Amino acid sequence: MKICAITGKHLKDGEVVHCAALRPTLLDFIQQKHPALKDDDVIEASLLPALRAAYVEKALEDEMGELSELEREVIHSLEQHEILSENPEGAGTATVRTFGEKLSDRIATFGGSWKFILSFMGFLALWILANTLLWRATGPPDPYPYILLNLLLSCIAALQAPLIMMSQKRQESRDRHHAEQDYQINLKAELEIRHLHEKMDHLLHHHSTRLMEIQKIQTDLLRQLVEAKG
């Protein structure tokens, strides 16, 4: 049984972490919060995520100043081991769209396609042909210079422009959401990579120290053997 140096709980060997196994920077931060903690003590393993999150928050505040909500969400995901990435099909579209928003999206999609261009050119050709040739005997309803057609085109443009702007505004909102998500993922990846680098450096240093100790013991044993034979 081991005793946690922070909570004082009696724990099993698999439920504790030795302070000597922690990264030096993380251990220094924990010792600042708990001055009585020593290098040869053990702490409860379940406390490490919260301590690591507090350490990351302190490091980010030192580098970036006041943290925004995005950075705090990244820290929370590190503590809870959550995934930040989302399905691109569902990201930013969780809210229910109104009928007007659906209509504006469909009009913007149709208005920016070759199908709309070709069909509209066909409509204009039929309108001009009908008012120029077909209804010449009875008198066309919209003779040249096609004032009614110009009025119709002006009304379509006046209605189409705000609908397209509504759709673009929704697209900008989705793009902003994706950009914020990319920033969070990149920040979390950077923090994880930094954590791995520090951990590898600590392990290499600890390993080299152990090798030096083993080499020193072997040298002492060899010296004793030589002295015994001599």
CB atoms within 10 A of CB 57: 18
Range of the domain at 139: 99-182
pLDDT at residue 121, as a whole number: 92
Backbone angles phi, psi at 200, to 5 degrees: -65, -40
Q: Are residues 75 and 103 in the same domain?
A: no
Phi, psi of 66, rounded to the nearest 5 degrees:
-70, 135
- Based on the structure, what is the number of domains in the chain? 2
Same domain membership, residue 120 and residue 63: no
Residue 160 lies in a domain: yes
Q: Do 142 and 168 belong to one domain? A: yes
Question: How far, rounded to the nearest angstrom, does the alpha carbon of residue 208 sit from its chain's CA centroid?
Answer: 37
Is pTM beyond 0.75? Reply is no
Mark whether 125 and 156 lie in a shared domain.
yes
Whether residue 163 sits in one domain with residue 125: yes
Query: Which tens digits make up the pLDDT trace of 151-172?
Result: 999 998 888 888 788 888 888 8
| Residue range 68-121, pLDDT digits in tens | 887 888 888 877 766 766 655 554 444 567 887 787 788 878 878 899 889 999
Answer whether residue 198 is part of any domain: no
Q: Residues 114, 53: one domain?
A: no
HSE-CB at 80 with a 13 A cutoff on CA atoms is 9
Q: What is the pLDDT of residues 72-84, one digit of tens each?
A: 888 888 777 667 6
- Measured in residues, the chain has a length of 230
Q: Which two tokens stand for residue 216?
A: 């020193």
Q: pLDDT tens digits, residue range 14-32?
A: 788 888 778 788 888 888 8
Token pair in block for residue 131: 């008012």
Residues 108 and 39 in one domain: no
The answer to the question of residue 37 being in a domain is: yes
**pLDDT at site 108:** 79
Same domain membership, residue 103 and residue 64: no
129 and 70 inside one domain = no
Confirm whether 45 is domain-assigned.
yes
Residue-wise pLDDT tens digits, 117-154: 899 999 999 988 888 877 666 777 888 888 899 999 99
Q: Look at 207 and 189; give whichever has higher pLDDT.
A: 189
Mean pLDDT of the chain: 80
